Amino acid sequence: MRIFGIGIQELLIILLICLLVFGAAKLPEIGKALGKTIKEFKKSMKDINSSDDEEEKKDGKPK
């Protein structure tokens, strides 16, 4: 199984390095912040796409 071109072994090594660098107490906070960031990014992209669709409907021609 590959996630973003990274295999399971590489992913585990990255997680282990993060654990060593940040410590076990900080990882949940970092994960929560990363999740919020991704959620906000997706929301922004959705808003941009919906505003583009509204403009196309007004103009009657695609961009």
Q: CA angle 10-14-16, nearest 5°?
A: 115
Answer yes or no: is 30 within a domain.
Answer: yes
List pLDDT tens digits, range 11-60. Answer: 889 989 988 998 889 888 988 998 999 999 999 888 888 877 777 677 76
Tokens of 4: 């973003």
Domain hosting residue 39, numbered range: 24-63
Q: Which residues pair with 3 in a beta bridge?
A: 6
Average pLDDT over residues 1-16: 81
Answer yes or no: is 44 within a domain.
Answer: yes
The domain total for the chain is 1
* For residue 2, pLDDT beyond 80: no
Cα 52 from Cα 46, distance rounded (Å): 10
Answer yes or no: is 36 within a domain.
Answer: yes
